[in-house]
Amino acid sequence: MSEKINIEVVYALPTEQTLLYLELPAGVTVAEAIQSSGVLQKHPEIDLDKNKLGIFGKLTKADAVLRDKDRVEIYRPLLADPKEVRRKRAEEGKVMKKGGGDI
Helix (H/G/I), strand (E/B), else coil: 42: helix
CA distances from 25 to 1, 6, 56, 65 (A): 10, 9, 20, 11
34 inside domain: yes
Length of the chain: 103
Find the CATH number of the domain harbouring 40. Answer: 3.10.20.30
Q: Which domain holds residue 62?
A: 4-98
- Does residue 98 register a pLDDT over 70? no
Neighbours of 70 (CB within 10 A): 20
Residue 103 lies in a domain: no
Domain count, the chain: 1
User: Which pLDDT tens digit goes with each residue over 24-82?
Assistant: 999 999 999 999 999 999 999 999 888 999 999 999 999 999 999 999 999 988 776 77
* Strands ordered across the beta sheet of 4-12: 17-25, 4-12, 71-74, 53-55, 58-60
In a domain, 43, yes or no: yes
79 within some domain? yes
- The confidence score (pLDDT) of residue 83 equals 80
| Residue 57 within a domain | yes
